Amino acid sequence: MSLLLIAMILVLLIPLYDAWKNDNIWQKMLAFASISTKTAILILFISVLRDDWAIGIVGAIVLTVGNAALMLLANIIKRMNET
Amino acid sequence: MNESYIYAIAALLPLTSIMLVLQVNPYSALVIRGILGAVAALLYAVLGAPDVALTEALVGTMLAITLYAVAVRSSMVMRLGVLVKEGEDGSRGELMTALRSIVNKRQMRLELVSYVDKEELHTALQDKDIHGTCLREGESYSIVMRLQRLYEMIQTELVSSSAILTYLENSDSQEKH
C-alpha cells in the first residue's frame, strides 16, 4: 500500500512541474485544479488506509472547497482580461 | 510511525513554497498559493491533524486567495481618463498599446475610464478618481499624470512622438498616496 501511495505522490509531481514551468495563467489554473483534486484523493485514500473517519471527512471537505476556490479565482482572472 | 510515504509528502511542502517565492506575476503567485494550501492540507491530514487541515483549506486557500485576488486586481492598475468621442476613430490605439506595454512590464494593467466632456474629466482628476488623463490636442495627444512615480515611469520609457507628457503638480499635497 505504501508503494501505491509513493506512486500517487510521484504522479502529483507532474502538474506541480507544469505549474512551475508554464507561464500561461490558465495552464497554471489547470495545474492547480489537478493538484487540489489529487491531494484530496490522497487524503481520502489515507483515511481508508488508517480507518480514520476524521481524516476522511476532511478529505471530502477539501475536495469541495478546492473546487469552490478554483471557480472564484477563475472568475476574477477572467474579468481581469476583459477590461 | 514507520510509514515512509510521510517523508515524501513532507518534502512536497518546501518544494511548493520555494516555487511560490520564485513567482514574479502576482496572479501566478496566487495560483501557486492555492497549490501550496492544497499540499499543506494534505500534509496536516496525514500527520494526524484534520482540524488544522480543514482550517488551512477553508481559510488559507479559499478565503485568502479570493481576498488577495480582489486586492491585487483593484490596486495594481493605472486608471487613465479619456473622452468617449476621441476613441471612436481608433487613432488612439497605437498610443494605448505603447502605454499598456509599459505598465504591463511592472505587472500592472491599464484601465481606460471614459468621460463625456472635459469638465467631468478634470473633476475626476482633481477628485483623485483617476491617475491621469489623455486628451487630443490637434494632431498630438496630451497626457497629464497626477502621480509622480507613474509620470517618471512613462517619461523614461514612452518613445512615441505623438504624445506630450506633463506632470500635474498637486496644490493640496497633505494627503499622500
With a CB cutoff of 8 Å and minimum separation 6, the contacts of B14 are none
State how far the alpha carbon of B139 is from the alpha carbons of B112, B160, B167, in Å.
21, 13, 20
Establish if A49 touches chain B: CB-CB under 8 angstroms: no
* Best CA proximity match to A25, nearest among A70, A65, A83: A70
Joined grid coordinates for residue B80: 487613465
In this prediction, residue B2 carries a pLDDT of 62
Provide the number of CB pairs (under 8 Å) joining chain A to chain B: 119
With a CB cutoff of 8 Å and minimum separation 6, the contacts of B2 are none
State how far the alpha carbon of B28 is from the alpha carbons of B24, B94, B121, B174, in Å.
8, 28, 34, 36
One-letter amino acid for residue B52 of the chain? V
Give the three-state DSSP class for B164.
strand
Pairing verdict, β B140-145 and B132-137: antiparallel
Report the residue count for chain B: 177
Give the three-state DSSP class for A67.
helix
With a CB cutoff of 8 Å and minimum separation 6, the contacts of B7 are none
* Best CA proximity match to B77, nearest among B96, B103, B113, B105: B103
- Tell me which of B5, B25, B44, B113 to substitute to probe the interface with A (most A C-beta atoms closer than 10 Å): B5
Neighbours of B21 (CB within 10 A): 9
In this prediction, residue A12 carries a pLDDT of 93
DSSP 8-state assignment for residue B4: T
- Tell me which of B42, B52, B59 to substitute to probe the interface with A (most A C-beta atoms closer than 10 Å): B42
In this prediction, residue B93 carries a pLDDT of 78
Q: Which residues of chain A have pLDDT under 50?
A: none
Q: Pick from A5, A32, A57: which is nearest to B5 by CB?
A: A5
Each residue's pLDDT tens digit, B27-72: 899 999 999 999 999 999 999 899 999 999 999 888 999 899 889 8
Establish if A48 touches chain B: CB-CB under 8 angstroms: no
Give the three-state DSSP class for B95.
helix
| C-alpha–C-alpha distance, residues A50 and B79, integer Å | 55
- What residue ranges do the domains of chain A occupy? 2-82
| Helices (H), ranges, chain A | 2-21, 25-50, 53-82
With a CB cutoff of 8 Å and minimum separation 6, the contacts of B103 are B78, B109, B110, B153
Instruction: For chain B, positions 87-126, list CB contacts with chain A under 8 A.
Output: 109, 111
Q: Which residues of chain B have pLDDT under 70?
A: 1-2, 88, 161, 170-177
Joined grid coordinates for residue A47: 483515511
Pairing verdict, β B163-167 and B77-83: unpaired
In this prediction, residue B176 carries a pLDDT of 46
